Amino acid sequence: MKRLLYILLVVVLNVVFPIAVPSASAATTEAHTVVIGSGISGLAAASHLTALLPSSSKIIVLESTDRVGGRLHTLQDHFTHPTDGTPIPVDLGGAWIHGTENNPLTELATTTISPPLTHLTTNYDNSAYFDAGALLSSSAVDAIYADFEEVLSIVEQQQDSDTELPLSSVWDAAYADLSFTDAQQRYTNYQAVNEIELSAAASISSLSHWWWNSDSAFGGPDWLFPGGYNQITNYLATDLQIVNSDPVVSIDRSSSTTVVVTTASGESYSASNVIVTLPLGVLQKGGVAFTPPLPADIQSAIADLQMGVLDKNVLQFPSNFWDSDPSEKKDFFYNIGVGSSREELAPYLENLNFDKYVPGSNLLCVFDSGDTAIANSELDEATRVDAVMDKIRIIWPDAPDPTNYKLTSWWNNENSYGSYSYLATGSSPDSRKAFTQGVDGKLFFAGEHSCVDMASTAHGAYMSGLDAADRVAGVLKAARCMSGAGAKFGAGLLGGAVLAVTSWVLAS
């Protein structure tokens, strides 16, 4: 009788409180390595690891979006050629290989990929400078650069000071030391935006005066790909097992031997190793739960490093109205505009003449960075286009309205929350170095923010992925991304942050 009552009780309880039976989708997928993110660092890690490990080793790439490439995003068919309607690929993120000498992306684009990718060299000297709509003479431009170099020299002398300051404090103090006139300060403010803020994707008030130029750089010219940067990321993705449109929500390394990764759809993946290539901005938002919590040095690095913003406003017009001589097209137009402070001069200052690279495309790409980009990204698109056109019409008053446009807003992109990282006051190259150590021998990090020497670039992101794969495979090699972390002085102005804009302009 008691046994019958027990059975009845079990039946009743199971009706009222049904026992959860795991569905087929809840089964855990096992792998040797799970790579989180299919930006160029994640693709580099997965493809390199595939070459290093036995063919039986399963490597799975988890991606939150419906494409690969991360912050390397080629828009394939939004713009078309006015004459024949053929698509014009346009990169919304990274666009250049910056510094082609000894750059691993150079070999990838010209030797590994067959046929080699078509590339064009950017000539930064082939630029026109306008002040309040008037074309500046070459001597006037030379004077601006000379004043800029004087300020820069004083600023660099202050890098051995014992107290870290915002770069803007040291910069502005140099004006007084040099007894600059208001006009000289205005032009040097413009040049600070042009050479530093646009490249760092951050205002100089946010940059560390110790570390803002601590990165190294490859030599050689810069290459732009008319066919788009995704030619490289698509090649790297070939034959990889990639799960798209399923963001990771948790990473659990509680087990002594494996790491369990869970996605938004409820899928679970158990792996001996996990490589996290999430952008710094995503890590800062805390949308991925780490169990147990990450070590203190990595948590500090996530908090101390900051994400910059470099947005593109790509406009297509009925015709090219900006090149006075169509046979000698400029690479860039610099629009100093109206005002004297950096904040007044910053918006929409740099214009890439895309029509030079794709003749007849009638495309201009107008850059916006730092605090102004963050503020402008909150505007609706029509208002942003009007603001860009107001700036353009300072130079060309009769410029027509664009026939088509595409605006980026990387600060609001939930898959990046910014363009690329920078060394803010309170951070240092050691902040980046924290990501290179690995956790418990099974959790690794990669991404531009973890490349100590060449952060904020596509090649830095790529090399960090190769380094992470080497660590997983146990290959003892010198890290590509870390030759001299901890030294206060880096490669100097032209060797570091000021050139990051040309590889963005980026990728995780």
**Secondary structure (H, E, C), 254-268:** CCCCCEEEEECCCCE
CB 406 within 8 A of CB 316: no
Output the six-digit token pair for 217. 């750089």
CB 188 within 8 A of CB 175: yes
CB neighbourhood size of 54 (10 A): 6
Closest of 51, 63, 70 to residue 448, by C-alpha: 70
> In DSSP terms, which residues pair with 276 in a beta bridge?
36, 445
Residue whose token pair is 């380094």: 467
CB neighbourhood size of 124 (10 A): 11
Amino acid code (one letter) for 169: S
Q: Domains in the chain, start-ordered, CATH in brackets?
A: 27-70+231-304+426-490 (3.50.50.60)
Q: Are strands 134-135 and 222-224 parallel, antiparallel or unpaired?
A: unpaired
Residue whose token pair is 């050689």: 220
What pLDDT shows up at residue 477?
65
What pLDDT shows up at residue 24?
37
Name, in order, each residue with C-beta under 8 angstroms of 40's C-beta and a sequence gap of 6 or more.
69, 70, 72, 94, 232, 233, 236, 458, 461, 462, 465, 507, 508
Name, in order, each residue with C-beta under 8 angstroms of 153's C-beta and a sequence gap of 6 or more.
none
The number of angstroms, rounded, from the C-alpha of 294 to the middle of its chain's C-alpha atoms is: 23
- CA atoms within 13 Å, Cβ hemisphere of 467: 28
Residues of the chain falling short of pLDDT 50: 1-25, 484-508
State how far the Cα of 115 lies from the Cα of 131, in Å rounded to an integer: 44
State how far the Cα of 58 lies from the Cα of 240, in Å rounded to an integer: 10
Residue whose token pair is 């660092």: 41
Output the six-digit token pair for 366. 């107008």
Judge residue 141's burial from the number of C-beta atoms within 10 Å of its C-beta, 0-12 exposed, 13-18 middle, 19 or more buried: middle
Residue 438 three-state SS: coil
Amino acid code (one letter) for 145: Y
Name, in order, each residue with C-beta under 8 angstroms of 447's C-beta and a sequence gap of 6 or more.
37, 39, 41, 277, 278, 279, 280, 435, 461, 464, 508
φ/ψ of 61, rounded to 5, equals: -105, 125
CB neighbourhood size of 291 (10 A): 12
What pLDDT shows up at residue 483?
59
State how far the Cα of 268 lies from the Cα of 26, in Å rounded to an integer: 7
Residue 93 three-state SS: coil
Name, in order, each residue with C-beta under 8 angstroms of 484's C-beta and a sequence gap of 6 or more.
216, 453
The number of angstroms, rounded, from the C-alpha of 159 to the middle of its chain's C-alpha atoms is: 26
The helix, strand and coil proportions of the chain, stated in percent and rounded to the nearest 5, come to 35, 20, 40
What pLDDT shows up at residue 480?
83
CB 312 within 8 A of CB 505: yes
The model's pLDDT over 226-280, given as tens digits with 9 standing for 90+, comes to 999 999 999 999 999 999 999 999 999 999 999 999 999 999 999 999 999 999 9
The model's pLDDT over 324-344, given as tens digits with 9 standing for 90+, comes to 888 899 999 999 988 999 999
φ/ψ of 166, rounded to 5, equals: -60, 140
What pLDDT shows up at residue 495?
36
